[in-house]
Structure 1
């Protein structure tokens, strides 16, 4: 109820137009949406697991089925849907007495609530990944991760931007937008697959995670640059410098201060006697760092991941991981299903004339998106027997990050319809190709090899 009330307070203009019965329908809408999400998640995961494919791929496929691409059960405002497109809203109108006039309001509020729960899911996921990571190993492969991240951003950005300009005659600013969309890496998808393959704590997994975190920081800076281009046609240097300084200060400061905090955290936990004495303080710490990251215009997931890294060094780590798992099982599927449900694969239909130009450009972007990240894996040095191809493949999925770039470009009017569709196609295919490709290039290690002692 607390989250529902929080969302409701943020959407007071909407609620002001709703009747008392319509407001009560918010909970019903959220509950039935969660039923659909969990069914799509569990069915998709079970099918993929039986086919020896990563379960997260099943969650993504389940989202496609229940989303705007197929059944229209889960429809979101930020994907261009309205209450008339949502089968669930029609179901609520038929079964709960929800008025037609209130349906639009309930649809918008429900969309916001599920989106917030999805964002909370990725925060919990990155906190869990941080707990499963080894800070010493991450620091050990830090230089390699930095190179992989830098090359994985620079190569696709340059190749995409200049290729669009000189091969397709795309103007400079739209080409820069599309090139920027190629730089993203969806750390949530890659980290989940690595965890399922028990490769998270191996050398390759640590390099990928470290590079993906740095890639996320670089992506935030690039996003600030292209957003400035969209608004003013020029880059605001002060804003870019602020993001660089704040990102470095946050990551380094949080880890250093976190190490000083660890003994006090353990002491506080040992003094508490009620239920949740370990999990609740840990979540408070994770959410505080996530809030700080958001407040300084970074990403909440960076704060959550850093909190996990810090607490992973305490003697409470193993017990905490066991307690976080059920929380992750509740929230993380919402993220993956929602991301996929917002994706409209209708843009892949070549029989629609409006799609053809976008598909031609999309083919070019997909090649650049894959090769640009694969190349970055081969820049790893001094690591002996390392699966460099797997490192590059682990950086491929763009996920929701790429869609953010496409969304900003489209709403600002910078991107044409065909170029926007091309970016969406690139995001869809790289997101869905990455899990099976990772399974192919990684051989699942034994429990003894894959688990951290």
Structure 2
């Protein structure tokens, strides 16, 4: 007679052969939690007229190491603290060493998916950064963008080194995170107020697009510095030249590539005839950037800029968005999940330094962008304060900096948390402040720039 029970069926001890299925189970459950979190957070943000990406970030904080411990990683937590691992352990008992192996493998898969998410995100941003618009905004927007990158970067980096005694590379990384500007958030507010076609609106949107390009170059440089672990002036100059040359060269060669791309897309008759070649090109460009010791995201961004010039740009945009909707939330939720907000608890004396760092970054983030309005010359009666405030929100671009800084290991927990707080607050503050300093025009300024409206709606 068989001596068999339900407990034998469901609670068998794990063996090495069970590792792959257990890892897959953990990955599937983690992804389900990430998607539920991203949608709930995004919808709640929309209800209060905030960008969905903020809801995804805050949701990540809730399910991550700061609260529920559902989505956690080995660099911040032990396997035994992961609620998902405890769930698997309940059904399939594992010894501590085996549990740690499963946890590490599962976390690595999620981390790779998050990295892929940021590559897709930068490809999407590249597609939305209209080069024709960059050419038309003129020197005013370019000056605003340069000031908006240089001022917060310099103030943040120098302040962290001299006032808070941070090592050079973490200080540079945090300073670089201050350079970002989210075009989607600002352009949405400008559109609502009827200022998208006004002088202020044109300068802000143009400067924000240029800001993205400069910011990606800065990110590629500082991420490469993080890999080497040292700062050398010659190396920095070489990296800046390499990143700029890669981006400019890609755009110039793109004119010749676009003809081949269109020919291939027209000849393919099966599903994905447009989006698969586009993503293949983006991945190859990301691979090439990595090979020459730049960042993969720079290659993906360059690919987006190149394909933005094709005749099928709008069709490609529509096909890329659903793919980004699936993979990009993994990046944003995991960025929030990695942040340990307990390091900012003011009740613990040793945490107060982290709060001071966060306060410093917020002040620099605001001042460093507000002053850009006074970089506009030869424009009488222009609202300089509105231009400066319009450049404040960091949004999704600032999170890219924080996410890459976190995965590279260059940021300490207090500094990482301070950057996340800076991104959240600047993104929260900018829309109401912009509405405060801009009044709806009495006659109404036409806002028929559909490309920017589409861009705002996707953010």
Quickly say closer, same or farther: Cα 1:103–1:354, change in 2 above 3 A: same
Look up the match of 1:87. 83
CA deviations over 1:319-343 (Å, ceiling 9, x no partner) = 2111111101101111111111111
CA deviations over 1:423-452 (Å, ceiling 9, x no partner) = 234202112113323433556999844446
Distance in 2, Cα, partners of 1:18 & 1:177: 42
SS at 2:272 equivalent: coil
Q: Is this contact kept in 2: 1:148–1:377, CA < 8 A?
A: yes
Quickly say closer, same or farther: Cα 1:196–1:21, change in 2 above 3 A: farther
Q: Give, in angstroms, the shift of residue 174 of structure 1.
A: 2.7
SS at 1:276 equivalent: coil
Question: Which of 254, 259, 265 matches 1:263?
Answer: 259
Structure 1 unaligned runs (5+)? 1-16, 412-419
Look up the match of 1:35. 32
Larger CA deviation: 378-387 vs 112-121: 378-387
Quickly say closer, same or farther: Cα 1:361–1:432, change in 2 above 3 A: closer
Aligned positions of 1:238-249 closer than 5 A: 238-249=234-245
Q: Is this contact kept in 2: 1:213–1:302, CA < 8 A?
A: no
Structure 2 unaligned runs (5+)? 1-13, 455-459
Q: Structure 2 length as normaliser, TM-score? A: 0.80
Larger radius of gyration: 2
Distance in 2, Cα, partners of 1:255 & 1:46: 37
SS at 2:252 equivalent: helix
Q: Give, in angstroms, the shift of residue 391 of structure 1.
A: 4.0
SS at 1:309 equivalent: helix
Q: Is this contact kept in 2: 1:186–1:401, CA < 8 A?
A: no
SS at 2:70 equivalent: coil
Aligned positions of 1:120-131 closer than 5 A: 120-131=116-127
Distance in 2, Cα, partners of 1:124 & 1:116: 12
Report the aligned-residue RMSD.
3.4
Residue 363, structure 1, aligned to residue 355, structure 2: no
How many residue pairs align between the two structures?
420
CA deviations over 1:404-438 (Å, ceiling 9, x no partner) = 55787868xxxxxxxx4552342021121133234
Larger CA deviation: 83-92 vs 433-442: 433-442
Look up the match of 1:394. 393
Aligned positions of 1:269-280 closer than 5 A: 269-280=265-276
Question: Which of 174, 181, 184 matches 1:181?
Answer: 174
SS at 1:77 equivalent: coil
Distance in 1, Cα, partners of 2:93 & 2:406: 38
SS at 1:62 equivalent: helix
Quickly say closer, same or farther: Cα 1:247–1:145, change in 2 above 3 A: farther
Quickly say closer, same or farther: Cα 1:53–1:361, change in 2 above 3 A: closer
Quickly say closer, same or farther: Cα 1:376–1:293, change in 2 above 3 A: farther
Look up the match of 2:8. none
Distance in 2, Cα, partners of 1:63 & 1:337: 4
Larger CA deviation: 337-346 vs 434-443: 434-443
Quickly say closer, same or farther: Cα 1:363–1:322, change in 2 above 3 A: closer
Aligned positions of 1:327-338 closer than 5 A: 327-338=323-334
Distance in 1, Cα, partners of 2:326 & 2:288: 25
Look up the match of 2:58. 61
Look up the match of 2:209. 209
Quickly say closer, same or farther: Cα 1:376–1:95, change in 2 above 3 A: farther
Quickly say closer, same or farther: Cα 1:151–1:395, change in 2 above 3 A: farther
